[in-house]
Chain A
Amino acid sequence: MNLHTKVVPHPMPAKAGIGLRAPHMAEIMARRPEVGWLEVHAENYMGHGPAFRALERLRANYPLSLHGVGLSLGGADGIDDAHLARLKRLADCLEPFLISEHLSWSDVDGVYLNDLMPLPYTEETLELVVQHVDLVQARLGRRILIENPSAYLRFRHSQIPEAEFLANLTMRTGCGLLCDVNNIYVSARNLAFDPLAYLATLPAAAIGEFHLAGHQVNQLGEGVMLVDDHASAVAEAVWTLHGEALRRFGRRPTLIEWDSQLPALALLTAEAEKADHLATQLTLETGDVQAA
């Protein structure tokens, strides 16, 4: 019934991947489109039902990345041991080439807020996140990538710029970074910082993955609030910023995320091709041969 054949983990994929969402599963199983790899939200597969079994079959054809949304690495209440055990079990079954989580928190007093909540960037927070990333990496027995969140507010007592906080975190724990270019753009607009200075602060060697996604622009009184809703194509300004990231860091596994108002699969794969095209063009320009 279940296939327990060991599949050798795939090497770093050369083409961009897509976030795999349930409504596309049947078509991907049937058509096996030419995308470089697939990323899934780990929490959606922790029941080990039919969707998990489909993923077990797909991993023979595609490198797989597990993207966690629920570990709450910045949660003051600590890491939920049972949840970490479920993640470990999933990783053992699926042998993903990447595992990532977020610089955020999501639960307090036993209530799960179902979101990537913002952290104040202080020494206290850094100590806590370092402890938690150490714990997770030790339990999983491997390096994880930490993603920069999209932010809608900043805390008055935040002392460390986010990019510097992430650089410190990689130095202290050896974790890698998932550089979400759309999130940088969204946060920079919402919190009025310079996205290029942000990119310049990130440690290039630690970048293990790029995320690209669409966002929504909302008028809010006199101001504008960008919301990272993953409900549309990647914005032109984000492609431009991604070009800067490619010039600076070189090619890395790149993912198109689209979570609501899902498009036809063909449109999603076309976005992935666009990312490949941009990466090829820019890495040729800069003579970067360390292409993944």
Chain B
Amino acid sequence: MSRLRELQCGIGRAILGKDEASIIEAITGDGLDPSARLNVYRNHYSASLGEALKATFPVVCRLVDPKFFAYAASEFIKASPPRQVCLFEYGEDFPDFLAGFPACASLAYLPDVARLEWLINAALHSPAQDPLEAGDLAHLDSADYPGLIFALQPSLRLIESVWPIDRIWHLNRPGAADESTIDLAAGGCRLEIRQLGEDVIFRGLEASDFALRAALTSGRTLEAAIGAALALNPEFDSAHGLRRLFAEGLVVGFTLAPSRQPAQE
């Protein structure tokens, strides 16, 4: 290992785990304790990541109070140091961490609220693509429709929860002043999150619509997606569901499932 790499590994250990034994001798004091000099970097590491998590999960922060949030965030940072350069990509596993964090076990809905906030963050940092119109499929043979695989807007995200996380989010979002209470027994929700113009919005979907969109976002064929919707609601109007996808500008591309592709000439 090069001397530089050895040093950087040692600094990494000192920042992440406070184990500075291997590198402290390499740092000059110049009138101060070398360990205090390292602390400037240690403090910046935990404080800046804590701030980043707070910015991504403001509703969770409000639900648990900022002091507890700072504690949970610092434990998370120890357990999952960032592996991505862009800070907005840090924190994807924070909801799972909260789900297993004994100190907030009494707030059973918290991990799902955190998942919703993560998806809002992910939608906010996704590109928008030019949508297709239904007419763009006109050249296809109708026999090909079942095998269509749609590419949907990159910002589109879906989440299903047994908790009313939409109401919890609205009442606790930054700046919300509504003091009404939420009946946790009122039931869950199925939400669609996406960019609309320059904002990110979310809204509730019916079970069958949710199933259709969930199947399409996971890359299943149109036939399979409609099947999933019909399984939940035999009355599901698939033509209408499909038209809405186009009307809402969600379809940005399509391919044919390999087994459905016409043979090459």
Interface residues of chain A, those whose CB is within 8 Å of chain B, are 1-2, 43-44, 46-54, 70, 74-77, 80, 83, 105-115, 117, 119-120, 122, 124-125, 128, 152-157, 190-192, 220-223, 225, 227
Interface residues of chain B, those whose CB is within 8 Å of chain A, are 2-5, 7-9, 11-12, 15-16, 25-28, 30-34, 36-38, 40-41, 44-45, 48-49, 52, 81-89, 123-130, 155, 195, 198-199
Q: Which residues in B have their C-beta under 8 angstroms from that of A220? A: 32, 36
Q: A76-B5, A117-B11, A220-B36 are in contact. List 16 more A-B contacts (CB 8 A).
A: A43-B86, A47-B88, A49-B124, A49-B126, A49-B127, A51-B124, A108-B8, A111-B12, A111-B83, A113-B12, A115-B41, A117-B41, A155-B27, A156-B27, A190-B30, A221-B36
The answer to whether B198 and A54 touch across the interface, beta carbons within 8 angstroms, is yes
Q: Looking at the assembled complex, report how far the CB atom of A227 sits from the nearest CB atom of chain B, in whole angstroms.
A: 6
The answer to whether B16 and A153 touch across the interface, beta carbons within 8 angstroms, is no
A222 to B30, CA, bound (A): 12
The answer to whether B26 and A152 touch across the interface, beta carbons within 8 angstroms, is no
The answer to whether B40 and A1 touch across the interface, beta carbons within 8 angstroms, is no
Q: Which residues in B have their C-beta under 8 angstroms from that of A50? A: 124, 195, 198-199
A222 to B25, CA, bound (A): 21
* Residue of A105, A128, A153 with most chain B CB atoms under a 10 A cut-off: A153
A137 to B5, CA, bound (A): 23
Q: Which residues in A have their C-beta under 8 angstroms from that of B16? A: 111
The answer to whether B37 and A114 touch across the interface, beta carbons within 8 angstroms, is no
Q: Which residues in B have their C-beta under 8 angstroms from that of A54? A: 198
CB-nearest residue of chain B to A119: B4
The answer to whether B48 and A115 touch across the interface, beta carbons within 8 angstroms, is yes
The answer to whether A156 and B26 touch across the interface, beta carbons within 8 angstroms, is yes
The answer to whether B195 and A157 touch across the interface, beta carbons within 8 angstroms, is no
A7 to B2, CA, bound (A): 45
A15 to B25, CA, bound (A): 46
Q: Which residues in A have their C-beta under 8 angstroms from that of B26? A: 120, 155-157
A50 to B121, CA, bound (A): 12
**Which residue of the partner chain, among A46, A76, A156, contacts B28 with CB atoms under 8 Å?**
A156
CB-nearest residue of chain B to A115: B44
The answer to whether A48 and B33 touch across the interface, beta carbons within 8 angstroms, is no
Given contacts A53-B198, A153-B34, A223-B32, contact A76 B125 (CB under 8 A): no
**Which residue of the partner chain, among A46, A105, A113, A191, contacts B30 with CB atoms under 8 Å?**
A191
**Which residue of the partner chain, among A70, A113, A221, contacts B86 with CB atoms under 8 Å?**
A70
**Which residue of the partner chain, among A75, A83, A114, contacts B8 with CB atoms under 8 Å?**
A75
* Residue of B28, B123, B129, B199 with most chain A CB atoms under a 10 A cut-off: B28
A53 to B82, CA, bound (A): 26
